Amino acid sequence: MAEALLEVEHLKKYFPVNAGFLGRTVGQVKAVDDVSFHIRAGETFGLVGESGSGKSTVGRTILRLTDKTAGEVRFRGRDLHRIPEPELRSLRPKLQLIFQDPYSSLNPRVRVGDAIGEALLDHGLAPRGEIRERVLETLAACGLSSYHIDRFPHEFSGGQRQRIGIARAIILNPDLIVADEPVSALDVSIQAQIINLFRRLQETRGLTYLFISHDLSVVEHLCSRIGVLYLGTMMETASRDELFERPLHPYTKALLSAVPVPIPKLKRERIVLKGDIPSPANPPSGCKFHTRCPLAVGRCREEVPELRNVGSEHYVACHLV
Ligand code: SF4
């Protein structure tokens, strides 16, 4: 087994709920509640779940863009949340985030060439005289041309803006990229192009991805292993093939039943979950999925199922598996 680049162990991120004139803390939103997984160098780990499952908070907490409540995030064996600030700053280029909407992070008055090159300058990774050449190389690697270097963000389509977002990340030569719903806002044909770009960059630059998406069919095309998150808790992790061929958790089965299958004869029976995802401020007791699980039994309401290895690195948190 290749060495893990990133290890996440029992990660928790709770946000306080304040109320009243004095703003006293009256509760907690358990956005991430005991999440564990690892990513090996050069692989793509997909993190999936419905909106509100805590996927983005996992990504941001891993990158230490927000403090953790408990648990560990180790990058190359070191706990990222214990590294002193000055050292963390020099490590930042190695850990990059790509957003769903890169436009929101681009200054509309700054030419994209400058927006891409500024990070190199900020981190002192290249002398000013070399920046333009590095930006041109990176634009080309991301499928954009030299013509684009002096254009402004509003002159680009959604797919091109995502290429700019990717260029801004990869120009720093990162080891790990957290891509948070990077293709969700794009048309299906453009999604395929961006996924191919992610794949090509991984092959040529040895990148490692944490790919966050609500869409299992997107994750299927890019990820070698997948984790399924529900209400801030990991329900199942397995290799992509194992998860798609032998899903064990009732929640994973429900998500998979909604994924379109190209061969009509293989069509899965659709499992429609009742109700909405509960509030993370008041999560159900026992198994968090029990209020929507078609198989729930009495034990599920009381006992939290442990995430157990059922073989071949396939982990499931369900009393009935
Ligand atoms: Fe469903 Fe119970 Fe398994 Fe939770 S533990 S997924 S409620 S059967």
158 lies in some domain: yes
CB of 54 sitting under 6 A from ligand 1: no
321 lies in some domain: no
Assign 129 to helix, strand or coil. Answer: helix
For residue 223, the one-letter residue type is C
CB of 144 sitting under 6 A from ligand 1: no
57 lies in some domain: yes
Radius of gyration of the chain (CA): 21
Counting from 1 in the atom list of ligand 1, the atom nearest the Cα of 288 is 4
Q: If you measure from the C-alpha of residue 320 to the centroid of ligand 1, how many angstroms do you get, rounded to a whole number? A: 7
CB of 273 sitting under 6 A from ligand 1: no
Tokens of residue 196, six digits: 């191919």
- Residue numbers of the domain that contains 68: 4-316
Pocket-testing residue among 315, 320, 321, ligand 1, by greatest number of atoms within 8 A of Cβ: 320
Counting from 1 in the atom list of ligand 1, the atom nearest the Cα of 299 is 2
Q: What is the pLDDT of residues 257-282, one digit of tens each?
A: 877 776 666 566 788 788 888 888 89
Residue 7: is its pLDDT beyond 60?
yes
Pocket-testing residue among 287, 292, 297, ligand 1, by greatest number of atoms within 8 A of Cβ: 287
231 lies in some domain: yes
- Please tell me the number of Cα atoms within 13 Å of 54 on its side-chain side: 30
Residue 77: is its pLDDT beyond 90?
yes
Domain count, the chain: 1
Q: What is the pLDDT of residues 100-115, one digit of tens each?
A: 877 777 889 999 999 9
Residue 88: is its pLDDT beyond 70?
yes
Neighbours of 110 (CB within 10 A): 13
Q: What is the pLDDT of residues 208-238, one digit of tens each?
A: 999 999 988 889 889 999 999 999 999 999 9
Burial state string for 281-300 with b = 16 or more CB within 10 A and e = fewer than 16:
eebbebbbbbbbbeebeeeb
271 lies in some domain: yes
Q: CATH code at 102?
A: 3.40.50.300
